[in-house]
Every structure is written in structure tokens, then in C-alpha cells.
Amino acid sequence: MHNPPGVVKLPALFIADVCKKSVMAAVTLSVDLGDRSYPIHIGDGLIDTPELWADAIPSKAVVITNETIAPLYAGRVRDALGDRWKADIVLPDGEQFKTLETLQRIYDVLLEQRCDRRVTLVALGGGVVGDMTGFAAATYQRGVNFVQIPTTLLSQVDSSVGGKTGVNHPRGKNMIGAFYQPLSVVADIGALRSLPPREYAAGVAEVIKYGLICDADFDRWLGEHIEDLAERRADTLISAVRWSCANKADVVAEDERESGRRAILNFGHTFGHAIETATNYTRYMHGEAVAIGMLMAADLSVRRGWVELAVLTRLRTMLEKAGLPTKAPEGISVDRFLELMGADKKVLDGALRLILLKQVGDAVISDDTPPDLLRALLSDWLG
């Protein structure tokens, strides 16, 4: 991707914000998957703009959210849906609840409400809600429609786009799931104003990822605007979300089911998922673990002689400015960490595949990392 911020693929829609104080441009992108293509709407106040998204819902809708988000936005979504609203399902909040047991609660309500195959599930929340709602949609009566309304930065730029759905297993993250695309994605940056600083920062990690793996222009832009992004400036946010989504949409359109290039989107994730699993999904938010994982992957890229040490140093500085952790947790043995990495979904035919950097903006899938080099890296990071 080499488009400057503000350049869009489809004409902008001009929508008054919630407070009617100003008018902001809502950017609309498209994920190109043939007859399963869908729009990504990005702007301020979109939850309260039903003609943009709710009118696309063909029949009754069930809103799936969590205990934190429901008091903030569920009422507004119900108002937008009008007589198409059927029920709310409010789940506990947290990665530790991304399980088959929690998923069962969704099925229970859908069956109690006698929802048929015309129902649309509306995912209102962060990545956990979106992943579980998408998996429920993929499996309830063998498939129903769903819409993503991501309310965290991480979910707006990453998990809501691309159709990855699923739940965790005690032995590995996202090990049970399906590829299943939504009807649309509605990324309302107004929702990001209510995020706690730590949760917002976790999303910035995924934003930084896109520049590193496939877009050097975006990486340079982020280097100049990381402070503005950390301060949640609206214009910077819209540009960052748009640029991130455009990059992900292009990769997904090329490789929907991660049989090839899409795997680069997992930069830092094999290390990060091992950190999450080792700490029982309670110590780190996903983006925080990914931030550490990206540093470990960048360090390995340096040790392989592919990028300069300056790339690692610059990445560490950007993550620190965003308020993200840059040190791995103590108390995990190298053998345990390798065991957890070996359980990752990206292992293929027993070979550990890592996403590394050849240069900024150019990530590669590597399955030939020398074991001694990987052990040395982990020994240094795990202390």
C-alpha cells in the first residue's frame, strides 16, 4: 500500500457527528472477495447513522456484546436497528472468557428466541466479542449473517476485518474457529474515546504492525505521527484506521484463508500467543503481547542479518511512545516457551513458521530458523 492518508477507494460519505457540532467524512473501503465482498465504514458517529449500516440487515438482529460495552453502546445500537432488534446477549468481558462454554450461552439464547436462518448477529465490542460472534454466526444453523461494530482500536484495525473467527483452547489461542466473512464492518472512532489508556495502546501495536510488514510509507507516516495517535487525535485516528484496514483488506483479498501471504499479518503473534498462553490470558492484553512479540521477531530478523539494529531500536521507541510493554515476562523457561510456540496454528507439518522482516515494509514467512539461534534469542529475552 502506498496511498497517502485521506485517499479512499470509494467516495466519502458526509455524516454529521453525534453532537451535531461538525461534519466528518466517513471513509468507505471494500474487502474484495467477489460475491462475498463487503464494506468497511470508518468515521465518527457511525453507530448513530443507521442508514449507513443497519439498513443492510435483512431481518431480525441479535446484538452480542459484553458487560463493559453494553451500558455504553447497546442502547444506541438498538435505536439504530429499530424494529429489527430482537435481543441482546451480554457476555462477560475478558480474553479468559473466549471459550466454548461462553459460546454455548450465545447458542442458548438464539434457540430460546427461536431465531431462524434469517437472523443477523451484530458483534458490538472488541476482538473477543467479534471472534465469538463470528464463530457463532458461522455455525448456528450452518451459517447466518453477521455485522461487526468494533469498539476497540485493535478490533477496528485487525480482528473485525478478514473473517477470522473462533475461541481459545487451554492449549492454544484461537485453535477452534472458522473463516467466515461479515456483511459489513462499522468502525466508529467515537467509541475509542471511552477506551482505557491500556486498551487503546494495545490497539496501536496492531497499527504499527502494518507499516512493518507491508507498507513502508505507512511506517514513515507513523513515525511522524505516533504522538498524535497516542493522544487520539480524530484526524490521525481516521487516517491510521483507514490505512491499516486498507492494508489488511488487500492482503485478505489476495489470500482469504491464510494459505500463503496472509500469514504475514501474524508478525509477532507466534511469540505473542505463547506469552498470552503462558500467562493464562490474564496478565497481558492481546496487543501488549503482540508488541513484545514484534520486538522478539524484529530481534530475530536482526540476528539473521536481514535488517539493521536501527529497525529494532526504532520499533522499541515507537512502542514505548504508545505506552506498550517492551520486555518479556520472567519465569517462563525456554523449553516451555518453545513448547507453546510449537502449538501455534502457524506450525505446518511440524515446522515452526515465523514471520520475520527482510526490510521495513517487507515481511517473509520463514520456516528455517536455526534452532540454536532461536534458543539464544529466547534465552536473552526470557532472562
Q: Any idea which residues carry the catalytic annotation?
A: 142, 164, 206, 248, 258, 262, 266, 269, 273, 286
The residues near 41 (Cβ < 8 Å, ≥ 6 apart) are 13, 26, 27, 28, 52, 53, 184, 185, 186, 187
**Spatial distance between the Cα atoms of 380 and 376, rounded to a whole number of angstroms:** 6
Continuous H helices in the chain = 50-53, 75-81, 100-112, 127-139, 153-154, 197-214, 216-230, 234-254, 269-278, 286-303, 309-321, 334-342, 371-382
The residues near 20 (Cβ < 8 Å, ≥ 6 apart) are none
Q: Long-range contacts: 263-266, Cβ < 8 Å, 24+?
A: 263/346, 263/353, 263/355, 263/365, 264/213, 264/214, 264/355, 264/363, 264/364, 264/365, 265/158, 265/162, 265/209, 265/213, 266/346, 266/355
